[in-house]
Structure 1
């Protein structure tokens, strides 16, 4: 049973660790090569929002994209975690969005600069409630879907991850300690695309049944 505090990961977590290009089809749609090892970047916890708060584009952004992801909530601290025991550090899961200022990201890439401003802005990490491990028996076989104004944009499965959760946690923990309440975003399937002010993003996570384990909805604030 997960510690009660894990359900409050938005308040207690110290960092959001994100994985880029972890689905081959998504890498291809952006013209990127498939990575030989995980691509890691960070968001601050000030990026978190929950339902009822609008998503806002950062200054200078005219091309805001949605990316739906499975988030892994860490229950046990660790460093240099072996893959064989990595799942022992997982307390549960959440549905998440990695909102991306694509124009700012593209400009940074051209300069050879970090993606930071394109990924870490306030409201860039909308999340659902917490799902305990017992509610997600196989995190590598879950449907992730996302609609914008009722139009299906993303419809993938976590089975298509290039790097599975144990490999990600082991790799990340070689470089930084994982702490209770930390959130690891595991990458997005193909179908990412732009949203405009007033759009409604709805997304869900299901195990193949007709009922989602969790879903959530967010409105994009006017201004882009």
Structure 2
């Protein structure tokens, strides 16, 4: 299935005709408050049990055009956003030049795969603007886009074996990891409000099948095709990412994992329009202000 959050944080099934509201098919109360979001975490954790009811409601319901609803980020108040660094070899290579230009030298430790945390408050929706921090703009720091496959955690867990990792995944969505290129900790430079747009919806893991089979593309202003890669090119594939992250921290239902930037990252400026798409998921368009 493909599942969206829309309007007053209703749950929608994405069909060929649009969005079907399937909220009433949930076997527990729907609480629209994003700060509690218990129903959402239960959905991520217990999707296999409720899927038949959601599929039946989607088949019976009336679809609304996706353009006629207010699509929201397909996640509610995750306990954390985990992000991967240096997970595509070609991106690691290009970062040598980026760091020479923006830092005056290469930070060698940043060229190794690892994970870090982004603030959950940096999350925004698929139709919200990316807001450039005035102080960073005034300082002349470059601010870059990084279009990535995002894992939505299902059952969660600690010390998850790699061979079992995909059983702990609820689904996948698109994310933009917006980044200030300056000195300092990654978490600070990537955690400004609106620096984690996600959407437009989730493709659940049963439909997605192989997370190594996605193609990622990002186009700026309609004709500047900057990123084009398949997820099979990851240095550390999705099962290993989930397993590795769970060794450091307990993954909880609804947590997000940004799986790393493909090559082709570049600066964004006021007025830019970013079109990012991942095969099998969808696409989203966000503006920069």
Q: Which of 91-100 and 23-32 deviates more?
A: 23-32
- Any residues of structure 2 matched to 1:145-224 within 5 Å, and which? 145-150=217-222, 151-206=224-279, 213-221=281-289
* In 2, Cα distance between equivalents of 1:126 and 1:186: 14
Structure-2 residue corresponding to 1:23: 88
* In 1, Cα distance between equivalents of 2:284 and 2:121: 19
Which of 37, 43, 49 is equivalent to 1:5? 43
Structure-2 residue corresponding to 1:53: 128
What TM-score comes out, normalization by structure 2 length? Answer: 0.67
Structure-1 residue corresponding to 2:70: none
Greater RCO structure (CA 8 Å; 6+ sep): 1
Q: Name the SS of the counterpart of 2:136 in structure 1.
A: coil
Which of 39, 42, 50 is equivalent to 2:114? 39
* In 2, Cα distance between equivalents of 1:178 and 1:158: 22
Task: Indicate conservation of the 8 Å contact 2:74/2:198, yes or no.
Answer: no
User: Root-mean-square deviation (CA), in Å?
Assistant: 2.3
What count of residue pairs does the alignment treat as equivalent? 208
Report deviation, 1:188. Answer: 1.3
Where in structure 1 do 4 or more consecutive aligned residues deviate above 4 Å?
Answer: 1-4, 32-37
* In 2, Cα distance between equivalents of 1:162 and 1:117: 25
Q: Name the SS of the counterpart of 1:181 in structure 2.
A: coil
Report deviation, 1:41. Answer: 1.1
The question of 1:115 aligning with 2:186 is answered yes
Q: Deviations over 1:130-155 (max 9, x none)?
A: 11113312110211000110120101
What TM-score comes out, normalization by structure 1 length? Answer: 0.86
Q: Is there any run of 5+ residues in structure 1 with no aligned partner, and where?
A: 109-113, 208-212
